């Protein structure tokens, strides 16, 4: 067994941090350690917290960390930040609120920037979840924003998803309507100390009723909780509902989940390998500068250049790439 994996299984936090760094940087030599750890995964409960920036989901994550720590459980956090398109690294605003747990050896918090990876973010999140899982974390809290193609696909890794709304988001709910119901297993209207949740609550209840009357005899009944992270109110009922969904998941959804997750992890791995490989080959190609000039001047187009490049790399004839 590789060294880092062995150290991680022996409880080394610095070894875990080192392997996570390798995953983030896209090092292929992380693979041996990830392989060695894989048999020790699949034990953690993965709890997704999602919501728009400003909904207070990090504060809720923070209270949930405390809840699980009070019960003696160890916790890992993977926070996928909305990324700045310009500055390097993620915007760390919310992260500082988790600082109170940062000296607790049983809490491991990892912020994951969403830039720099050509589509590999989902695979990267899965790898880090697996490392935390193999470390023996009882609960892994997975935090993302509630919109965005990649961000929504990452939420597929969660066993239970809590969608955090705030009273001001009535227009958001109106805009995506039934989409809201598909994102969350449990809903939270947060910051109820700042504004009256009445209107949003009525809208959400009406969405849930319409779903029920549409004939869906769902085994899991979605619920809405009012919380105020600042005042610390509403969390007992929320954590009770999360425990309830966990039992439901274990009994009715786990088999399906495992199959879908295996499929997504396998595809992510294949995908990120090729993304990395071909981007490197392209950047190193002596004609790369010429390609860009030809596209800018409209002498050639990105479609034919990419076909020629792919054909060259694969050592096949250009025309055979054409498929229906």
Site for its own copies in 258-277 (CB under 8 A): 258-259, 262-263, 265-271, 273-275
| 179 forms part of the interface with its own copies (CB under 8 A) | yes
Which residue number, 10 or 149, has a Cβ lying nearer to its own copies? 149
226-255 residues near its own copies, rule: CB under 8 A: none
Q: Where are the alpha helices (DSSP H) in the chain?
A: 3-9, 13-24, 31-37, 57-70, 121-134, 149-154, 170-176, 178-183, 198-213, 235-248, 254-284, 288-296, 302-314
Question: How many beta carbons lie within 10 A of that of residue 192, not counting itself?
Answer: 23
- CB closer to its own copies out of 34 and 68: 34
Among 63, 73, 91, 208, binds its own copies (CB under 8 A): 91
How is the beta sheet containing 139-144 ordered, strand by strand? Answer: 107-112, 75-80, 139-144, 45-50, 160-165, 186-189, 223-226
Residue from the set 5, 16, 19, 34 that interacts with its own copies by CB under 8 A: 34
**Least distance (Å) between residue 115 CB and its own copies:** 7
**Residues between 184 and 223 with contacts to its own copies, criterion CB under 8 A:** 191
Judged by CB under 8 A, does residue 59 bind its own copies?
no
Three-state DSSP at 77 gives strand
Candidates 19, 45, 55, 141; binder of its own copies (CB under 8 A) is 55
**Minimal distance, residue 81 CB to its own copies, in Å:** 9
d(CA 288, CA 301) in angstroms, rounded, equals 13
Number of shown-chain residues binding its own copies (CB under 8 A): 91
User: Which of residues 10, 72, 86, 196 is near its own copies by CB under 8 A?
Assistant: 86
Report in angstroms how near the CB of residue 93 gets to its own copies at its nearest. Answer: 5
The per-residue b/e assignment along 58-83, b for 16 or more CB within 10 angstroms, e otherwise, is bbbbbbbbbbbbeeeebbbbbbbbbb
Q: Is 136 in the site for its own copies (CB under 8 A)?
A: no
Gap between the Cα atoms of 109 and 125, Å rounded: 13
């Amino acid at each position: 067994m590789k060294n880092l994996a062995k150290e991680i299984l022996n409880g080394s936090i610095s070894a875990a941090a080192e392997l996570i760094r390798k995953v983030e940087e896209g090092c292929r030599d992380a693979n041996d350690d990830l392989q060695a750890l894989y048999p020790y995964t699949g034990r953690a409960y993965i709890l997704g917290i999602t919501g728009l920036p400003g909904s207070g989901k990090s504060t809720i994550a923070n209270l949930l960390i405390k809840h699980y720590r009070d019960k003696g459980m160890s916790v890992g956090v993977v926070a996928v930040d909305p990324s700045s398109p310009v500055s390097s690294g993620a915007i760390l605003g919310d992260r500082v609120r988790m600082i109170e747990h940062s000296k607790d050896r049983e809490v491991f918090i990892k912020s994951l920037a969403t830039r720099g990876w050509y589509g590999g973010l989902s695979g990267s999140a899965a790898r880090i979840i697996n490392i935390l899982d193999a470390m023996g974390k009882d609960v892994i809290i997975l935090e993302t924003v509630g919109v965005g193609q990649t961000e929504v696909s990452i939420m597929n890794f969660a066993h239970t998803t809590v969608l955090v709304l705030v009273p001001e988001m009535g227009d958001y709910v109106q805009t995506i309507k039934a989409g809201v119901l598909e994102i969350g297993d449990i809903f939270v209207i947060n910051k109820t100390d700042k504004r009256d949740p009445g209107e949003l609550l009525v809208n959400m209840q009406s969405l849930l009723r319409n779903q029920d009357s549409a004939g869906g005899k769902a085994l899991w009944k979605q619920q809405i909780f009012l919380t105020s992270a600042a005042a610390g109110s509403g969390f007992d009922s929320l954590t009770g509902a999360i425990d309830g969904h966990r039992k439901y998941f274990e009994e009715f959804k786990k088999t399906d989940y495992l199959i879908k997750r295996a499929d997504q992890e396998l595809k992510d791995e294949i995908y990120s390998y090729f993304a990395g490989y071909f981007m490197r080959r392209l950047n190193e190609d002596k004609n790369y500068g010429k390609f860009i000039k030809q596209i800018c001047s409209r002498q050639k187009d990105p479609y034919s250049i990419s076909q020629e490049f792919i054909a060259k790399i694969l050592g096949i004839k250009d025309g055979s790439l054409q498929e229906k």
